Amino acid sequence: MSEKDVKNLEEIFETRIARDEKIEPKDWMPEKYRQTHIRQISQHAHSEVVGMLPEGNWITRAPSLRRKAALLAKVQDEAGHGLYLYSACETLGVSRDELYEQLHSGKAKYSSIFNYPTITWADMGAIGWLVDGAAIINQVPLCNTSFGPYARAMVRVCKEESFHQRQGFEIMLTLCRGTEEQKAMAQDALNRWWWPSLMMLGPTDAESIHTEQSMKWKLKRKSNDELRQQFIDQTVPQADLLGLTIPDPDLKFNEETGHYDFGEIDWDEFWQVVKGHGPCNKERMNARVNAWKNGEWVRDAAMAYAEKNEKRKVAKAS
């Protein structure tokens, strides 16, 4: 194909997206579109899978059967979300094995929030309320993204996500209506998860390298700063309802803008965690790599069994 042909195809492609048409896996697409989508969808899938680890930590120690069943279902949903997203990503011509390899080797990133420890039961509440809350804000616009398989996966994910946030908020509410110690535990969890949750919505617009192209391809509908403001505006009244204090002395409602003003985010901390120096980066990666390695003989055995059965079937038929 000549350069001119490619340019022509690219133009047709961009007009299709501008017209809100969906792009399906077998359609022609610019290489950069393919690569950007592989990067974003796999990063999203990895986040779901690694995201099971901080909460998996509390399944056996949930305070009641009701809480345990809910937490187990939530973690199972996260596994499911990872699987929807991996298979959407594979339609772009990358294999599941390559994707795992990228995660395990540290080449691919996942959401930095999962590199923080879950040290009390209240962290299960704070994660559901704040982390899933921020995730929903991030994910809802993606239900309309231009790449069909990603958009379809996101519709399923978003449908399931709201239970996650509600179960988290309910945990917080129960603690806040409990004893002094329980309320203090909830406040402590909010103190530790508030700032990382704000960081989760990504670097400020000035620092964000992917925004413009992503907007065009509808991989993003709002900028990181807009999403962050939306998250803060919606969460502050919820904290008030719980009777908790958001750990930001500069947080104040601005009558003029109709939004909350908030304090400076410690971006050094964010980049440190992204670069692998967060409190749990090593622990999370070890858990993933070990799970993959220790499961290898099971995967091989299942494959061998399937092949043996297949041979038997063929032998019987002939």
Partner 1 sequence: MENTKKNWPLWEIFVRSKNGLEHRHFGSLHAADAEMALENARDVYTRRNEGVSIWVVESKHITASNPADNGELFEPAQDKVYRHPTFYDLPDEVKHM
Residue 255 has what DSSP assignment?
T
- Using CB under 8 A as the binding rule, whether residue 78 contacts partner 1 is answered as no
- Rule CB under 8 A: say whether 55 interacts with partner 1: no
Q: Does 26 bind partner 1 (CB under 8 A)?
A: yes
Q: Is 153 a residue that touches partner 1 (CB under 8 A)? A: yes
Kindly state the smallest distance separating residue 55's Cβ from partner 1, in Å: 17
User: Residue holding tokens 């704000």?
Assistant: 198
List the interface residues with partner 1, window 94-123 (CB under 8 A). 95-97
Write the CA distances from 278 to 46, 116, 189, 258, 270, integer angstroms.
17, 7, 17, 35, 9
Token output for 2: 């000549």
Shortest distance (Å) from residue 316 CB to partner 1: 16
**Three-state SS string across 134-163, please?**
HHHHHHHHHHHCCEHHHHHHHHHHHHHHHH
Asked whether the CA dihedral 67, 68, 73, 79 is positive or negative, the reply is positive
253's enclosing H/E stretch is strand 252-254
> In the complex with partner 1, which residue's Cβ is closer, 139 or 272?
139
Both structure tokens of 168: 């988290």
Q: Does 28 bind partner 1 (CB under 8 A)?
A: yes
Name the helix (H) or strand (E) containing 127: none
Q: Does 22 bind partner 1 (CB under 8 A)?
A: no
Q: Does 76 engage in binding with partner 1 (CB under 8 A)?
A: yes
Report if residue 139 touches partner 1, rule: CB under 8 A: no
With tokens 């195809």, the residue in question is 9
End-to-end CA separation in angstroms for the chain: 48
Residues whose CB falls within 8 Å of the CB of residue 233, separated by 6 or more in sequence, listed in order = 259, 260
What's the min distance (Å) between Cβ of 114 and partner 1? 21
Site string for partner 1, 245-284 (x = CB under 8 A): ----------------------------------------
- Tokens 């945990």, residue? 171
Find the binding residues for partner 1 in span 277-306 (CB under 8 A).
299-300, 302-303, 305-306
Judged by beta carbon, residue 88 or residue 175, the one nearer partner 1 is: 88
Segment near partner 1 (CB under 8 A); pick from 51-59, 71-79, 266-274, 277-285: 71-79
Residues of this chain that interact with partner 1 (CB under 8 A) are 24, 26-28, 73, 76-77, 80, 83-84, 87-88, 90, 95-97, 152-153, 160, 299-300, 302-303, 305-307, 309-310
